[in-house]
């Protein structure tokens, strides 16, 4: 039985047979305040290529009342099963189907999500349909290549607002009737319904006026910085319309900040939904604003790449996500007036490290992944689809030229507007404009898995003159279980040479004599060894940095002398991007066990105080904490954590008052505080008996302090209740759930396990908060009994819960803190006996790989101590 799955072969056959014209969807949401179910009526007109053929339409619903095909009533009990309605004996040519059903509100962030705000007790609804969840709201042919127009008619409670893909009409008798959309895929249709607060403006260009709207719950309205959001949005409109040479393709553009959203945002055509954590209630660093801007630009880019032109099937998901990820960073880097022109630094430090991590898992796959069914794609929104694909596009731009690249994109949009495409369609357009044959490039970069390592091989004479320089490329074996073979690839890279200038800064080319131009060399690297004759006969620089400017996608290693200099002077790079590349290289070496955790900590401590990029600083905080929790030799871990805690407090006290660095170090200190003195300071900051000049202990920072106090047994239920009384919001409820789950008692852990695993009552956001609090790195012994419980429960959870809920549990509750051979053995035994689905097998195998990597890194750290 198919259940809720759909195979690629089924989708191809349905697309061969059917051409869909239009949907008319009527939803009665008048009872949304109370919840339960709602009436959904779908009328869809479509053509069949064959008379007498059979097909099916998708629907997930508690009850189906009517199915009328071409005027003939079908027995709903007979034709509706396994999320499908059978459509027998179709006419050749035009067919019309009417389906009347009761559909259900959800609390999982899938389909039509319903949330009640504790501030005003009002319900707020929004849809989330990617990948296959439009069928939870109306009957649909749920695959991206069966595009159609969609007309929504919605009945809503008095005083509410209804927003959809088309401009919002004036309601009549609480009924909102929208104009049909252009031809789009079902997964980017949207409805957002409730008493939302809104701010409106327009985007004006060349005599056109595009209405802009921003929405959030009234309880967040005081924090909504609409002007800043509109500014980034207009920047994106200007840059994308110029680069794509195609006007924004929809009638209006609304951005809706919605509660309990599972992802960062969703590119619904003309009605983008965004997690409302991006409406900042407390002070955040500039890095948070940069991430929000990137999210806004990512979704806006999707209006062209994904919505206007859509992949034919989910194996080309990367065409949507990789391009939008590249476009967000490029827009921030190059758009006039951008507040974040160093976005490639953030990209190198965050997105590419995500890609490198994903590409070394047993589940690694080609960018153009093999997607056999919906179960495959649901777990494929990963670091390869987004970050590796975007990195490869960045290299492609360097390879063919930015102007040629965007001319190809322009031709692609004009040729395929409102249609569906495959990889070959984009490559064909790029070949036409660049004059390059991209077939070999595509095969090596898009159709193979794995990552390359680039190392410099440098020889010098007694006077420090380079006598030989080459770049060695390695193709490490793919992780056990991964499909494919190691592949050497062509790389377009730059090599930067850096020396200390008179001000003690590492500057590219500072040691190069005037009149000479070899501070940066750009070249193609191919095969195992690529000589670089341009550097032969030159003085050996302090630092040689392969892949300078981050043009290619590869793990980069430093030679021995460069590593020594970087260890002493990493914070002294004059520019942020080479610093970020060296930080990323050091982190990758630590993850691979090539750099002991204790040595990685020393490297970070030597340079982080000089790091000006706040996004890099915050990434280093996360990486150091992970290294100490997972990669440090257990016998040394507490020593390392104590050293890090002292350093965090020292940096906190030294940071400029009210600065981003001060706030970031406050959060880092709160996360690692463990001694009595440190915990006393957290408590004093929380109750106001101590202050640090310039540090605003506001709502969100208070919760960070309290979480750590709860996790160490210094804050009880009464303290958590008191804090929740101060912050009686949905965010406060989630923070409180995390704090309660973090308490270091068997009773607290049992309560969380029962609420998350043994019950399905928690909404998605509350479940996520409880899981985050449950897993505390210094509670390993307390959590040890839950390893066995996990393996006993996870398959049933995966089969019985919705995808989003099951994924949270399968990933979040895996015993990743039990770093031992016993955990690997227990995982292997479960994999061998449980017969999990392919998607669940992938999730558990990825979790296992994390434990395996941690064990290797711990051994490397212990060996470094023994050798010292």
Q: Which residue of the set 142, 260, 299, 321 is catalytic? A: 299
Rounded to whole angstroms, the Cα distance separating 704 from 719 reads 13
CA distances from 100 to 59, 134, 227, 521 (A): 11, 15, 43, 66
Rg (CA), the chain: 28
CA distances from 635 to 625, 641, 678, 858 (A): 16, 12, 22, 10
Handedness of CA 554, 560, 561, 567 (dihedral sign): positive
Q: Are 118 and 733 in contact (CB under 8 A)?
A: yes
Place of tokens 């501070």: 519
| Phi, psi for residue 219 in degrees, rounded to 5 | -70, -15
* Strand ranges in 426-465 using DSSP code E only, listed in sequence order: 453-460
Residue 788, classified by CB atoms within 10 Å of its CB into exposed (0-12), middle (13-18) or buried (19+), is exposed
Q: Are 709 and 717 in contact (CB under 8 A)?
A: no
Instruction: Tell me which H or E stretch contains 473.
Output: strand 466-474
Q: Are 449 and 359 in contact (CB under 8 A)?
A: yes
Q: Provide the token pair at 148.
A: 């159609």
Rounded to whole angstroms, the Cα distance separating 513 from 511 reads 6
Rounded to whole angstroms, the Cα distance separating 609 from 617 reads 9
What is the torsion angle, in degrees rounded to the nearest 10, for the CA atoms of residue 735, residue 267, residue 242 and residue 288? 10
CA distances from 646 to 218, 226, 590 (A): 42, 40, 22
Going across the sheet that includes 265-266, the strands are 197-205, 208-216, 253-258, 271-275, 265-266
3-state helix, strand, coil in the chain (%, to 5): 45, 20, 35
Strand partners, 128: 111
Rounded to whole angstroms, the Cα distance separating 460 from 537 reads 9
Of 313, 381, 425, the closest CA to residue 10 belongs to 313
Q: Are 606 and 598 in contact (CB under 8 A)?
A: no
User: Taking every pair of C-alpha atoms in the chain, what is the biggest distance, in angstroms?
Assistant: 92
Rounded to whole angstroms, the Cα distance separating 129 from 109 reads 9
Handedness of CA 260, 310, 356, 479 (dihedral sign): positive
Going across the sheet that includes 93-104, the strands are 72-74, 63-69, 93-104, 37-48, 18-28, 149-155, 175-177
Rounded to whole angstroms, the Cα distance separating 743 from 17 reads 58
Query: Active site includes 241?
Result: no
Q: Which residues contact 453 (CB under 8 A, 6 or more apart)?
A: 473, 474, 476, 554, 555, 556, 557
Of 682, 737, 762, 758, the closest CA to residue 714 belongs to 682
Rounded to whole angstroms, the Cα distance separating 577 from 556 reads 14
Three-state DSSP class for 39?
Answer: strand
Instruction: Tell me which H or E stretch contains 162.
Output: strand 161-164
Strand partners, 373: 7
Strand partners, 199: 214
Q: Which residues carry out catalysis?
A: 299
């Amino acid at each position: 039985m198919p259940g809720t799955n759909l195979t690629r072969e089924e989708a191809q056959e349905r697309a061969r047979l059917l051409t869909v014209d239009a949907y008319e969807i009527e939803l009665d949401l008048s009872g949304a305040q109370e919840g339960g179910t709602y009436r959904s009526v779908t009328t869809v007109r479509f053509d069949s290529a064959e008379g007498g053929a059979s097909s099916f339409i998708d629907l997930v619903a508690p009850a189906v009342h009517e199915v009328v095909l071409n005027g003939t009533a079908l027995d709903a009990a007979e034709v509706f099963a396994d999320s499908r309605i059978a459509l027998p004996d179709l006419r050749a040519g035009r067919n019309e189907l009417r389906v009347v059903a009761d559909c259900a509100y959800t609390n999982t962030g899938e389909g039509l999500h319903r949330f009640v705000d504790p501030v005003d007790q009002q319900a707020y609804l929004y849809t989330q349909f990617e990948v296959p969840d439009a069928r939870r709201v109306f009957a649909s042919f749920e695959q991206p290549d069966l595009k159609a127009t969609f007309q929504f008619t919605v009945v809503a409670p008095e005083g509410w607002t209804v927003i959809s893909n088309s401009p919002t009409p004036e309601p009549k008798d609480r009924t909102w009737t929208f104009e049909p959309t252009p031809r789009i895929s079902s997964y980017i249709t949207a409805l957002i319904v409730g008493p939302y607060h809104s701010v409106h403006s327009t985007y004006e260009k060349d005599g056109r006026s595009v209405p802009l709207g921003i929405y959030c719950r009234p309880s967040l309205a005081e924090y909504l910085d609409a002007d800043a959001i509109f500014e980034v949005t207009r920047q994106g409109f200007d840059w994308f319309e110029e680069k794509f040479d195609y006007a924004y393709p929809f009638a209006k553009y609304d951005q809706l900040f919605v509660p309990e959203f599972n992802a960062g945002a969703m590119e619904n055509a003309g009605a983008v939904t965004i997690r409302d954590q991006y409406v900042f209630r407390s002070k955040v660093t500039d890095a948070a604003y940069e991430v929000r801007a990137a999210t806004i630009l990512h979704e806006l880019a999707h209006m062209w790449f994904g919505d206007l032109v859509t992949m034919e099937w989910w194996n080309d998901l990367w065409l949507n996500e990789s391009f939008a990820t590249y476009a967000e960073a490029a827009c921030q880097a190059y758009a006039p007036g951008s507040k974040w022109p160093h976005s490639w630094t953030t990209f190198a430090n965050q997105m590419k490290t995500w890609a490198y991590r994903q590409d070394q898992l047993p589940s690694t796959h080609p960018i153009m992944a093999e997607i056999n069914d919906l179960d495959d794609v649901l777990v494929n929104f990963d670091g390869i689809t987004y970050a590796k694909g975007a990195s490869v596009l960045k290299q492609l731009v360097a390879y063919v030229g930015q102007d040629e690249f965007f001319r190809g994109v322009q031709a692609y949009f004009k040729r395929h507007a409102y249609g569906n495409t495959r990889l070959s369609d984009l490559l064909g357009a790029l070949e036409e404009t660049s004059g390059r044959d991209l077939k070999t490039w595509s095969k090596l970069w898009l159709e193979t898995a794995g990552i390359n390592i680039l190392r410099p091989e440098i020889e010098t004479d007694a006077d420090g003159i380079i006598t030989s320089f080459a770049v060695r490329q390695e193709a490490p074996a793919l992780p056990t279980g991964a499909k494919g073979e190691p592949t050497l690839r062509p790389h377009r890279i730059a090599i930067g040479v850096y020396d200390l200038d008179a001000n003690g800064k590492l500057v590219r080319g500072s040691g190069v004599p005037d009149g000479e131009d070899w501070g940066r060399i750009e070249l193609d690297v191919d095969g195992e060894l690529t000589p670089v004759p341009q550097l032969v006969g030159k003085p050996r620089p302090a630092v040689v940095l392969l892949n300078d400017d981050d043009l290619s996608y590869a793990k980069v290693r430093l030679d021995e002398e460069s590593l020594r200099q970087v260890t002493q002077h990493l914070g002294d790079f004059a520019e942020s991007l080479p610093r970020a590349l060296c930080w990323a290289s050091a982190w990758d070496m630590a993850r691979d066990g090539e750099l002991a955790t204790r040595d990685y900590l020393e490297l970070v401590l030597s340079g982080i105080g000089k790091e000006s990029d706040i996004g890099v600083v915050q990434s280093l905080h996360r990486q150091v904490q992970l290294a100490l929790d997972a990669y440090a030799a257990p016998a040394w871990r507490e020593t390392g954590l104590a050293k890090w805690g002292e350093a965090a407090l020292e940096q906190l006290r030294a940071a400029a008052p009210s600065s981003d660095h001060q706030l970031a170090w406050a959060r880092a200190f709160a996360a690692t505080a463990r001694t009595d003195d440190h915990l006393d300071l957290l408590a004093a900051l929380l109750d106001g008996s101590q202050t640090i000049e310039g540090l605003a202990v506001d709502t969100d920072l208070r919760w960070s302090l309290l979480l750590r106090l709860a996790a160490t047994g210094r804050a009880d239920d009464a303290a958590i209740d008191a804090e929740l009384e101060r912050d009686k919001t949905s965010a406060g409820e989630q923070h409180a759930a995390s704090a309660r789950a973090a308490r270091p008692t068997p009773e607290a852990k049992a309560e969380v396990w029962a609420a998350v695993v043994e019950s399905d009552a928690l909404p998605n956001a509350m479940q996520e908060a409880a899981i985050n609090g449950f897993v505390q790195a210094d509670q390993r012994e307390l959590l040890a009994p839950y390893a066995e419980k996990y393996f006993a429960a996870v398959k049933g959870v995966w089969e019985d819960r919705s995808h989003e809920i099951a994924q949270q549990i399968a990933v979040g509750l895996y015993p990743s803190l039990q770093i031992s051979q016993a955990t690997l053995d227990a995982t292997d035994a479960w994999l061998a006996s449980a017969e999990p689905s392919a998607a669940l097998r992938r999730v558990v195998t990825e979790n296992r790989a994390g434990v395996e990597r941690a064990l290797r890194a711990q051994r490397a750290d212990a060996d470094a101590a023994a050798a010292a």
